[in-house]
Amino acid sequence: MLVLVLNCGSSSVKFAVIDTGSGAASVSGSVEEIGVSARLKAKKGAEVFKRSVDAPNHGSALAVIQNFLKEVGEVQGIAAVGHRVVHGGEKFSKSVLINAEVLKVIEECSVLAPLHNPPNLQGIAAAQKNFPELPQVAVFDTAFHGSLPNYAYLYGLPYELYEKHKIRRYGFHGSSHRFVAKKTAELLAKSPKDLCLIIAHLGNGCSATAVKFGLSVDTTLGLTPLEGMVMGTRCGSIDPGIILHLSKLGYDFEGLNKLLNKNSGLLGLSGISSDMRILLEKADAGEERAKIAVEVFCYRAAKEIASLMPALPRLDALVFTGGIGENSEPIRKKILSHLEIFKFGENGGPQVMVVPTNEELLIAMDTEEVAGK
Ligand code: ADP
């Protein structure tokens, strides 16, 4: 089946047309800087497209994508649209066909993901308008973690906050962790039901998940995608008392939001960049702050990986994925150097694997399964 996969962010829409049979994307791209200076970037085979477009909002960005797909002869044959939706709350532990009721629940979850769910909803509305004849499926970042036991998802806060405000760990990157868990089992020629894994997704966002016999049983991201590892611009876990202290120093909600989500992590530590490739180059060239950022990133990644051990009865493999996890051997080595106690890669110890993720393909496969019913 040919599936149009859409990932709508606050100022961009990423798209790909994926053939679920071959797993290949025939065309992929994005409309970025939606607003006054929108640009279309795309590639089809070896052909690359880059141009300014008129896309003041998500609706017009979708129209730009539709026209572009027509132009390159890729619109025919698309049988369904799959949407990446960040937060599905406690309601969705599987991908679902989008209807009015589903939209209402995604809307309700916006309070838990104010930066992500509203643009996801705008994208869905625009896709429904532009592709009215196609079934639309929502694939949630949180869904794979629906199997967490309550002792893993509850925080040490008054239980009423969970009951009243649904404050708990949800976890994210679920499509990536699910895809990689399945792929790892294939590579090891085993059933997912026979494997205990820790998957470390290291990209701009970073998280690790403990997968016990095919199910997510604990994960490092929490109520929001801020917890756990140090990320590109997000701080990861910090002493919650820091927030109290900063609020005394005059930081308001907006200031804290920007600090913790946009100006922390590798960027904040280095003062140079959130991009690991750049930091590795600068560290090699002797820049102290780049070195510090890389060291903190690796130590904290190791610490978060180790924090998942209590979730598993044994560990068969630690699997690296994501832009950093897949491509940077020095980072993998540095992380493993902090985990010597677990005897990774040694005789009798857990394996270390690198398995490329493909969230778009997982969204396309789920869309086929749900829309085909
Ligand atoms: P996203 O989370 O946005 O999907 P990616 O998974 O593509 O991001 O990861 C982006 C990160 O991967 C960037 O920090 C980038 O520098 C890093 N990266 C990509 N290739 C390499 C490499 N060869 N060595 C080190 N880091 C890399």
Does residue 55 contact residue 31 with C-beta atoms inside 8 Å? yes
> What share of the chain has pLDDT > 90, as a percent?
95
pLDDT tens readout for residues 174-190:
999 999 999 999 999 99
**Do 105 and 206 reside in the same domain of the chain?**
no
Q: Whole-angstrom Cα distance, residue 87 to residue 255?
A: 23
Number of domains forming the structure of the chain: 2
SS3 140: strand
- pLDDT of residue 294 exceeding 90: yes
In CATH, what number is assigned to the domain containing residue 14?
Answer: 3.30.420.40
In a domain, 319, yes or no: yes
Closest ligand 1 atom number to CA of residue 201: 6
Task: Tell me if 161 is assigned to some domain.
Answer: no
Domain membership of residue 370 (yes or no) is no
Q: What is the Å distance from ligand 1's center to 279 Cα?
A: 11
pLDDT grade, residue 206 (50/70/90)?
A: very high
Mean pLDDT of the region 43-70: 95
First to last CA, the chain: 13
Is 141 an annotated catalytic residue? yes
Phi, psi of 122 (to 5 degrees): -60, -40
Residue 57 CB neighbour total at 10 angstroms: 13
Query: Among residues 54, 141, 252, 275, which one is catalytic?
Result: 141
Same domain, 219 and 302: yes
Residue 293 in 3-state DSSP?
helix
Q: Assess whether 214 and 304 both reside in one domain.
A: yes
pLDDT tens-place string over residues 84-138: 999 999 999 999 999 999 999 999 999 888 888 999 999 999 999 999 999 999 9
Question: Is the shortest distance between the CB of 203 and ligand 1 below 6 Å?
Answer: yes
Residues 108-119 have pLDDT tens digits of: 999 888 888 999
In a shared domain, residues 228 and 341: yes
Residue span of the structural domain in which 305 resides: 190-354
Q: What is the pTM of this model?
A: 0.95
Judge if 128 and 243 occupy the same domain: no
Residue given tokens 């929001």 in the structure block: 224
